Amino acid sequence: MSMERRGFVNKVEHGRDYTVSFCLDYTNKRLRVDDYHGNVDRMYARVAEKAQALKLTKVFIKSREDDWRKLLSKGCMLEGIYKGYFLGSDAYCMAVYYDRERHTSDYWMEEDAILGKVLELPRKTQRPPVPERFQLRLADKSDAERLSELYHTVFQTYPTPMNDPHYVTKTMEGGTIYYLVECQRQLISAASAEVNTIYANAEMTDCATLPAYRSQGLMRLLLHALEDELIAQGVSCAYSLARALSFGMNAVFHHMQFTYSGRLTKNCDIYDKFEDMNLWCKTLSTP
């Protein structure tokens, strides 16, 4: 299998009366539509045909508000709503599956129970101080090697090749912001914000902390720092996908004033299997 077929490829196609931007994500066996214009019927027919021809088992489309009902009528499922994704207008995550196992969640009830406990937690509105001996700072390209080592250590599998320092560097060059925490020069925690400058949104992602340093509020520190950077850039919509089985990460976003906005079934291969991901969204106050 070629390198392309093992990873993911971003493409833009121009039909007779539509344009669609999508990602062929072979690692996670899915096709993700990030943007489109024009005839929704022909756009949907094209991406569905493409996904099935390549034996991808999930398609999900970030639909505009005017189109999600049409996609629902074609058999798509509404899995979540990205609040304010399109310059303040919502995006609707519409999904369709081509594999029974991919469509069936193995842990939905357990995930509901975890979410229920998270939503009962009191919010932590105050910004935590940086603990003694720890340093919080913006990452740069010289940190790519250590960042890749951190992700390789924390995650058995991951939806993107974050264990490759060249890939980490490439994301930085593309505008992704990374913050990290060090303890005695050891990199112990990191998170990033992948910025979409066209629609003024950003995905908070790549959250990782070494096991020995968890439950110390480090991820909230990182997310606060990232939010400051995003607000300075005029980004108004922040969102994240957290493993639905992870009490800790869902609690972090709840404490950070994000709102639970849906669950994407077996959305990506993370840790050691395809997992359901909870969608969390927040409107940022821009200057």
What is the DSSP annotation of 150-212? HHHHH-SS-SS-TT-HHHHHHHHHTT-EEEEEEETTEEEEEEEEEEETTTTEEEEEEEEE-GG
Q: Which of 6-20, 125-139, 198-212 has the highest mean pLDDT?
A: 198-212
pLDDT at 5: 44
Domain ranges of the chain: 3-103, 108-283
Task: Output Rg (C-alpha) for the chain, integer angstroms.
Answer: 19
Average of pLDDT values for 40-53?
A: 98
pLDDT value at residue 2: 35
What gap in Å lies between CA 110 and CA 106, rounded to an integer? 9
Average pLDDT over residues 175-204: 97
The CATH superfamily holding the domain 3-103 is Gcn5-related N-acetyltransferase (GNAT) (3.40.630.30)
**CATH number of the domain located at residue range(s) 108-283 in this protein:** 3.40.630.30
Q: What share of the chain is helix, strand, coil (3-state, %, to 5)?
A: 30, 40, 30
| pLDDT at residue 3 in the model | 35
Residue 128 is predicted with a pLDDT of: 87
Average pLDDT over residues 208-233: 95
Higher-confidence position of 125 and 280: 280
Supply the pLDDT for residue 113.
98
Please state, for a pLDDT cut of 90, what percent of the chain lies above it: 88
The three-state secondary structure class of 142 is helix
Structure confidence at residue 156 (pLDDT)? 80
pLDDT of amino acid 230: 97
Residue 286 has pLDDT above 70, yes or no: no
Do 108-283 and 3-103 fall under one CATH topology?
A: yes
Distance CA 268, CA 27 (A): 8
pLDDT (tens digit per residue) in 59-106: 999 999 999 999 999 999 999 999 999 999 999 999 999 999 999 999
CB contact at 8 A, 285 and 271: no
